[in-house]
Each structure stands twice: as structure tokens, then as C-alpha cells.
């Protein structure tokens, strides 16, 4: 009987050890710590480095970066960061194309959108589309929650055309971005 009690106590000790280890390993985890989506939402036409020619617009997304600040007056709110994208937009048609900030949105996983900001690491993309045969180059920025890993930039150069770029946010979030 003594042997049975010793084995039972040893078994209970082993089980309690596993339970305690599992409980300690889970300490501090919450939904906020859950992995953030790493795939751009929705369908995409291209990714960074890609070019799409549609609806009279030929657009290339050449670079994407992330920062908390562009300088003394251009700082993201606490818990947020900026995602900035550099574009080359050519008017490949005969009509006008739109470049207003509201026709270029940043979609986040889960259905949210980034908040368009005037801040940029260098020259901002013009708000007026280029004339036929001409091009514009520049940056667009959006403020997003820190931890955002993927997004989709939706650009609507005309009322019936949409071009979508999938973006994977760089792992390096710069404290301050200067060019």
C-alpha cells in the first residue's frame, strides 16, 4: 500500500508539473498578442515592384516603408505608425486620371482602413493626375495601428477602374524617417 501511495503521489506531482508549466507559458498572452494577419486583404493585382496598366493609368509601386515620425510636427499618435508608399503614375490614356487622396485608400485586414496623412518622407504624390502621356512620382502615407503587418492599397484612377497593390509592411519600423 505504501508503494501505491508513493507512485500515486509521483504521478500527481508529474501532472501538476505539466499543468503549472502550461499555465506559466500562457501568462501574459492575450488577444492583443495574437499574430497579426500577414496577408494583404482582398484580391491584389501586384505587389511592391509591380506595375499595372489599366483604365488609362500605368502605376508602379516602387517602395514601402514604416515609421513613427517624419519630423517634429509629423508624428503618429501613440499606438500608431505611418505606412508610406512611393508611386510612379503615368497617364497612358487620352483622358484624365484622378490622384486625389480619397481615390487611393489603404485597406487593413479585418475591414478597417488607414487614415490618409499629408506627411511623407520626401515629395508627396500630386493631388492632380498627370496629363495624357505625362507622369507623376511621389509618396502617399497612411496612419495605421502599430503591429499592422499587411495591407492593400486600392487606387481608383477613374470611376470604373480599380488597381490593387498588396503590401507586406517591413519589419523595421523607423523611429524617424528622413530622406
CA 126 – CA 137 distance, rounded (Å):
8
pLDDT tens-digit readout, 75-110: 999 999 999 999 999 999 999 999 999 999 999 988
* 161-168/46-47 β-pairing: parallel
Rounded to the nearest 5°, which phi and psi values hold at 31?
-65, -30
Closest CA to 119 of 100, 103, 136, 139: 139
pLDDT tens-digit readout, 148-158: 999 999 999 99
Per DSSP, the three-state class of 97 is coil
pLDDT, residue 73, reads 83
pLDDT tens-digit readout, 8-22: 554 444 444 443 344
CA dihedral 155, 159, 160, 166 (to 10 degrees): 10
Per DSSP, the three-state class of 162 is strand
pLDDT tens-digit readout, 48-76: 999 999 999 999 999 999 999 998 789 99
Provide, rounded to the nearest whole percent, the portion of the chain with pLDDT above 90.
69
Mean pLDDT across the chain, nearest whole number? Answer: 84
Q: What is the DSSP letter of 98?
A: B
Amino acid at each position: 500500500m505504501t508503494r501505491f501511495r508513493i507512485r500515486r503521489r509521483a504521478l500527481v506531482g508529474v501532472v501538476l508539473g505539466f499543468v503549472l508549466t502550461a499555465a506559466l507559458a500562457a501568462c501574459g498572452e492575450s488577444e492583443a498578442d495574437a499574430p497579426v494577419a500577414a496577408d494583404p486583404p482582398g484580391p491584389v493585382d501586384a505587389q511592391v515592384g509591380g506595375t499595372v496598366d489599366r483604365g488609362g493609368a500605368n502605376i508602379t509601386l516602387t517602395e514601402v516603408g514604416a515609421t513613427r515620425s517624419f519630423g517634429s510636427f509629423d508624428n503618429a499618435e501613440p499606438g500608431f505608425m505611418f505606412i508610406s508608399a512611393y508611386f510612379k503614375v503615368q497617364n497612358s490614356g487620352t483622358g484624365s486620371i484622378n490622384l486625389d487622396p480619397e481615390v487611393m485608400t489603404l485597406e487593413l485586414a479585418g475591414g478597417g482602413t488607414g487614415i490618409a496623412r499629408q506627411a511623407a518622407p520626401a515629395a508627396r504624390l500630386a493631388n492632380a493626375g498627370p496629363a495624357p502621356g505625362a507622369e507623376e512620382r511621389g509618396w502617399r502615407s497612411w496612419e495605421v495601428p502599430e503591429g499592422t503587418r499587411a495591407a492593400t492599397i486600392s487606387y481608383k484612377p477613374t470611376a470604373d477602374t480599380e488597381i490593387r497593390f498588396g503590401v507586406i509592411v517591413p519589419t523595421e519600423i523607423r523611429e524617424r524617417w528622413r530622406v
